[in-house]
């Protein structure tokens, strides 16, 4: 749970940094007004370049897999 807390803090701080900077492009400024999980890969574009969408997708996939594994282990432990 602590690792998830750290990841959530990182996501919030990155989105706050990108969306509140003075050199935000008009396209990114429009995206900042309504950020969803589908549209938030642009937050990493300045650091990772065009591959940011792929990295973000792999990270979401890893999060889903880890939560599925955790749920399965918890269910097996209870049974």
The domain ranges of the chain are 2-78
Q: Is the dihedral of CA 31, 36, 40, 41 positive or negative?
A: negative
Q: Is 67 helix (H, G, I), strand (E, B) or coil?
A: helix
- Beta-carbon count within 10 A of 58 CB: 10
User: Are residues 21 and 7 in contact, defined by beta-carbon separation less than 8 angstroms?
Assistant: no
Number of residues in the chain: 79
Q: How far apart are CA 56 and CA 54, in angstroms?
A: 5
Check residue 61 and give its pLDDT.
86
Task: Give per-residue pLDDT as tens, 20-68.
Answer: 777 777 777 777 777 777 777 777 776 777 787 787 788 878 888 888 8
């Amino acid at each position: 749970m602590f690792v998830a807390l750290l990841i959530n803090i990182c996501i919030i701080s990155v989105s706050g940094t990108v969306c509140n900077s003075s050199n935000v492009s008009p396209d990114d400024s429009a995206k900042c007004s309504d950020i969803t999980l589908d549209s938030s890969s642009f937050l990493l574009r300045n650091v990772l370049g065009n591959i940011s969408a792929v990295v973000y997708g792999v990270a979401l996939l890893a999060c889903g897999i880890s939560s599925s594994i955790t749920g399965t282990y918890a269910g097996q432990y209870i049974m």
